[in-house]
Amino acid sequence: MSNALSSVARIAYLASDIIVDSQPTLPSTSQFAKKYDSLSATSTRRPTIFPVPLGGDPGSTLLRNGSGATLVSYTSSATAQTAIRLVLCASELSSLPLVLHLAVKDDLSDVTLLRSALPFFLVSTTAQKAHDNSLLASRLARTEKKAVVHVFYEGKNDSVEEIAESEVLPFLLSDKLAAANGHNGHANGENGVNGHSTAVVSPVSELFKLYEHAALSTVARIRRACPPFSVHGTNEPHTVIFALGDIPSLDVGGVSVISLSLLTPLPPSRILDAIPPSASRVIILEQVHRWNTKWTPLYLELVNAIQQQVGEQRPHIQSVYFSQPAQVTPSAIMKLFQVASSSTPLQLGGSIDSPSTSLEVPHIPKHESSYTKILSHVFGERLEVSNSPALVPKQGAIATSPEFALGRIRGQLDLRNDLIRSVQQLMELTEVSPELHKLLSQWILVKDDAIKSRSVGKELVAALESSKLSSPLVDRILALRIHFPSRSRWIIGSDAWSYDLGASGLHHAIASGLDINILIIDTLPYTSRNSADPHRRKQDAGLYAMNHGDVYVASVAVYSSYSQVLQSIMEADRHKGPSVVLAYLPYQNEEAPALEVLKETKLAVDAGYWPLYRWDPVKEAQGKEPFALDSDAVKNDLQQFLDRQNHLSQLVRSKPELATELVSSLGENLKDARRRKAQQAYDDLVVSLDAPPLTVLYASDGGTAEKFAKRLANRAKARGLSISIGTLDSLSIESLAQEEYVAFVTSVAGQGEPPQNGRTLFKALNGAALRGEKPFSKLRYSVFGLGDSHYWPRPEDAHYYNKPGKDLDGRLEQLGGERFAVLGLGDDQDADGPDTGYKVWESLVWKTFGVDSIEVKEAEPDPITNEHIKAASGYLRGTIAEGLQDTSTGALDPSDTQLTKFHGIYQQDDRDIRDERQAQGIEPAYSFMIRVRTPGGVCTPQQWLQMNQIADEHGNGTFKITTRATFQFHGVIKQHLKPSIQEINKALLDTLAACGDVNRNVICSAIPTLSRLHAQVYDFAKLVSAHLLPRTTAYHEIWLDKKMVAGEAVKDFEPLYGEFYLPRKFKIAVAVPPTNDVDIFANDLGFIAIVDDRGELAGFNVTVGGGMGVTHGNKKTYPRLADVIGFCTVEQGPIVAEKIMLTQRDNGNRADRKNARLKYTIDRMGLDTFKAEVESRLGYSLAPARPFTFDRNVDDFGWSTGEDGRHHVMLFIENGRIQDEPGRDFKTGLREIAKIHKGTIRLTANQHLMISDIATEDVSEIKRILAKYKLDNLDYTGLRLSSSACVAFPTCGLAMAESERYLPVLIDKVEKICEEHGLRNDSIVMRMTGCPNGCARPYVAEVAFVGKAPGSYAMLLGGGYYGQRLNKIYRETVSEPEILAILKPMIKRYALERLEGEHFGDFVIRAGYISQTTSGKEWYDGSGGEGQYREVAAPA
């Protein structure tokens, strides 16, 4: 068990350079300090700790130390005075790397003052949360250089899983959040349009984004979610409770409780996100004992947010306070529902005005009674201590502050002046008797007399009470009777008030002009004067008061001159205006004997450290000397006194000395200069002994080279080296020439090209080499390159392996650089991948710097992965809403771009102009692709028209039919994202789960001739899609402002996916034999429709484990075809899909996204084990699979008639692009058809479309429009009709080569070969992708080309014509001339030697060009061709 305070103190100690610890009331000691003391005995960390006395202002210490420290922590129990002092300097504190850890018991009243003053405000209600939020706050403050308030409940005791000491600093030093790299490609890419705006980003959104970064990093380290708030209770509540404080677990029907952990920043969109449409009441439940205004800031903020909600009806909002957790019960909450709408705050369990427990009277140290007894003795019953601790139980802790006392005195003096006026007005009445008039006038004369004002006042009260005089003045005077005596009003405080005269309220009292006396007791012993913070000097309250000219000032010491004390306080009382008495009372603790106090006082007074004096401004007005020096040690020379060390003076040195030891300031300056010079010489010596600084530069597209560079930098830091790190392009040649030691890390992009963020420097180096320059005479360098020796297997291409690293190494030498370590090469094909070469190279680096013998156990920081992003996203929210409002950039935050995929959105940029824009110094031309979710691929003509309009108004004027049989928009700039999504939803479609680690769009066969069967499988596809749809409300909140046009609002709960969702994307298809137009075996899950003897849908054969994605050169990745595991009925289908998906959810590889798909899970578990697990979850076994037959996977073009008599026409849309171009105005023609069509439109997985359900009487008109726009032209070769390509360049970020733009050009040339040999009408399935992720399903094509670099492709042969067999790599690298050279004789031979009905994929296997692929794991076996056709690889 661990308590919250101990956990917070531990994190503060381990994470901070500076700790400022506020001390409690004596004789108590700081609980934080106790923990710090214990840690100092066990920890290797040694932060500097500055204690701040009770009442002292910590702001000056924080400000002084914050600017030079990497992290400052302030620890304190929360009090009103602490909060007020921090608020006064909040503007300066807000930009410091500062965490304010404030411990509370059961009241948040005081600390919430800081909520709007500082950038971040966290609340922890458990010990574990206190630990985690301490880490998060430290990370946030250190990284962003902004102040964070962390409030926690100090009394919480529970089991805490603490971070190891050795992991704290690596966590704080770890790199800022970056989106994980290497995500799989999306279907069919997009086109790009730049988008910029000049509006200013919302500060709240920007701050929340910074919080998200820190939260994600924290989640990555502690493996626990750190959400800004947590939601418990009913999914569709009628009441939502926003709870702030120590709230017990509540289980009330119809109630959802949102426990706030992050108060600032709290974007309005987040507030609205948390309130479901079902809620009609919102309760703000806060644990506060008091509040000075009617409404709390949290209430007002929530009201403001809810007022922004679009809609006619908004929930009723009620503010409710409570004091103790025991008051928050289900019955108490239920009672609130019975209370009519109230315009005032309500209180649970009692009155709002009084806390459940009274405050204790603060302890007064016994030594201080020396002065209070003198005051009581001198003034007797006249004495009134206006900030007496006795007032605390009734007035609260604020009653002891000078501000409170000043206000109290001002009120009393105003009432006494009112009394004086009333007495004077009564004297003017003729009805007043002579005796009463005499008493009235007598009191006016003696009203300021200490004794007579009281005695005459008593007589006057008696006379008025016995008088028959009827006047309101009499009643008023009697009501003010307590003000007849003249009182001696005092405010007593500590020297802590002198640290900041303004923040403490002392300035206001001095400047008030009121008849008020202030006694400031200084307790710092003279012998301990140097142990205090020398920079945190007290202000000279006495000198400050003197400068006002109307303030009486005295400096006294009761243990030095009792008579001087008596004289000073009596003069202060007589002075009609403010008086300040500085009283010396040195002691360490209450146990200090009086003799020790006496000795300390004598030392201080005799040394001049505490001079005794009096300053009376009245004497100055009379022409007399106002200053009276009562210290014998300094009486001889007043000027020397004023120049001497005065403990409270603004004009003094930092350390007091005995009078006999005083030296001139010149001598002190000389000694200081000598000390500084000696220290500098020592520092120079230390630096000369240290290793020189090392700069690490990297060039990386995919993130691998960046990872290795950061690993090198982190390990170098751990060995004591001075490190800086950046991209190659971050330094110019001129800057690089000034560096002494530089380590370069680079990967390969394209065909031996440097990565994008290194090309500028590469070009500059090449230019310098051509000019014959040698700028690197000082530079010592070493290069580590990353590549794949098998990526370019041909001898003529072997030089592309690690070409950028090799080129850079040679170029630097040519320009005058000297290697400090030989070139290192990391090869993906080595046993440990690039690590094999890296380890050798890294050891040479350490040897160069002489740190190779240092053993360091590096705590490698965990990378921020998609799993962390999902877990910390608040069910796919992230900071998307805030990022949409940031008009300073056309992009979203990297982590949000991972989340937007779940919303059907990919961020990209126009790669055609990327280099040009980089040269211009502007950001890439960012745009977004939007993918619609259309289960079954069916839409209405009205929906088609809406999609057409969206493409024109928000996209690039075109849209695409994808290989998942849905719509895809391109070139949507950020400011058009939300309007586009809203327009899609108005058309009763959406984009939710069109991408991301969820089940994506469920597709089904088009089958035009089987109308009834299509209707059944289409309904089944919709049912499965709806069943597996994510339940988060984030989509509707972010894009639709929580409004749905149709259907029921999605619940903010993920019963299937959980907070981590799936390890990877999940694809489902429904096929109807004999047409496999959906490539059923390429999907994670497939349903093959089985028709009974009567032609009715009997059920489905179930297939599992298909998938296309591959990584070039990584043999752990491979395509796989699905296996048939059994049969299920139509009714069982959705549940079978659920259980298969959940088995993948729980068993998929979340550590490596490249091996996370279901295909790898099945191969790892074994098909039988996987099937058994699914059946265990189902509770029954699947029936045996039933016979089926496929004969093609291409679409059936042209006209057909269904069994219901309706007509259908399949149109060829090359690669799915809907656009107008010369002679092919397909987009316009389809729009015209949609305007008159009364049926439906079906999209196919081969990227074509079918105009469906055409009535006989409408056929002629449809044909007329088709002919007009040449949409009925099917005069294409069988090769072109069977082709498919993804988008690739210019918008897909994963593309390595062209695809959609190039495949038609290649087909132009290949189909000429086909026509030469009589194969014009023969179907050969040819597919192309720009990267190996397989969006166009190339690995089941008969001929396929997979991009490796611009103009370079891997060529694959041997796929099954109807998708039943994988192809295999025939050539690792080919360009267009080689493609044509290979295909020309191959096609000719096929035309001559093929068997009856033999397809091209079957032929190339029979003819010995390539071996048959029998399983995914064997996909690499036999690659490169067979026998005489085998490719000769380059030597490794």
CA 264 to chain centroid, in Å, comes to 13
3-state helix, strand, coil in the chain (%, to 5): 40, 20, 40
Euclidean distance between CA atoms 32 and 742, whole angstroms: 44
**Spatial CA neighbour of 57 closest among 90, 30, 34:** 90
Omega prior to 365 cis, within 30 of 0 = no
Query: How many C-beta atoms lie closer than 10 Å to residue 995's C-beta?
Result: 25
SS (H, E, C) 1292-1327: CCCCCCECCCCHHHHHHHHHHHHHHCCCCCCCCCEE
931 is catalytic: yes
Sign of CA dihedral 729, 731, 732, 737: negative
Q: Looking at 221, 931, 1231, 1365, which residue is catalytic?
A: 931
Q: Looking at 416, 614, 1065, 1327, which residue is catalytic?
A: 1065
1065 is catalytic: yes
Report whether 1296 contacts 1349 (CB < 8 A). yes
Give the DSSP H/E element, type plus range, for residue 517.
strand 517-522
554 φψ region: left (φ > 0), alpha (ψ -120 to 50), beta (else)? beta
Report whether 406 contacts 508 (CB < 8 A). yes
Q: Looking at 89, 1128, 1314, 1335, which residue is catalytic?
A: 1335
Q: Looking at 89, 939, 1128, 1292, which residue is catalytic?
A: 1292
Euclidean distance between CA atoms 694 and 697, whole angstroms: 10
Q: Give the phi and the psi of residue 581 in degrees, each rounded to 5.
A: -115, 115
Report whether 573 contacts 565 (CB < 8 A). no
Report whether 327 contacts 1059 (CB < 8 A). no
1000 is catalytic: yes
Beta-carbon contacts of 1428 under 8 Å, excluding residues fewer than 6 positions away, are: 1408
Q: β-pairing, 281-287 with 262-264?
A: unpaired
Q: Looking at 939, 1128, 1286, 1314, which residue is catalytic?
A: 1286
**Spatial CA neighbour of 138 closest among 64, 217, 85:** 217
Strands (E), 324-464: 346-347, 383-385
DSSP letters for 1395-1435:
PTT--HHHHHHHTTSSPPP-SGGGTTTTTT-SGGGPPPPPP
1292 is catalytic: yes
DSSP letters for 52-73:
E-TT--THHHHHHHHTT-S-EE
1314 is catalytic: no
1004 is catalytic: no
- Residue linked to tokens 């503010």: 319
Alpha carbon distances (Å) from 554 to 21, 515, 1432: 32, 16, 101
User: Count of alpha carbons within 13 Å of 973, Cβ hemisphere only?
Assistant: 16
Laid out side by side, the sheet with 905-909 consists of 905-909, 926-931, 967-972, 959-961, 1217-1218
Q: Looking at 139, 447, 614, 1000, which residue is catalytic?
A: 1000
| Alpha helices by DSSP H, 1097-1211 | 1133-1147, 1158-1165, 1167-1178
Q: β-pairing, 1343-1349 with 1352-1357?
A: antiparallel
89 is catalytic: no
Residues across the chain: 1436
Euclidean distance between CA atoms 16 and 135, whole angstroms: 11
Euclidean distance between CA atoms 1238 and 741, whole angstroms: 73
Give the DSSP H/E element, type plus range, for residue 14.
helix 4-15
Report whether 706 contacts 179 (CB < 8 A). no
Q: Looking at 281, 447, 960, 1067, which residue is catalytic?
A: 1067
Structure tokens at 894: 């990297």
Give the relative orientation of helices 1303-1316 and 1376-1393 as an angle to the nearest 10 degrees.
30
939 is catalytic: no
Report whether 1071 contacts 1086 (CB < 8 A). yes
CA dihedral 163, 169, 175, 176 (to 10 degrees): 70
Residues involved in catalysis:
931, 1000, 1065, 1067, 1286, 1292, 1331, 1335
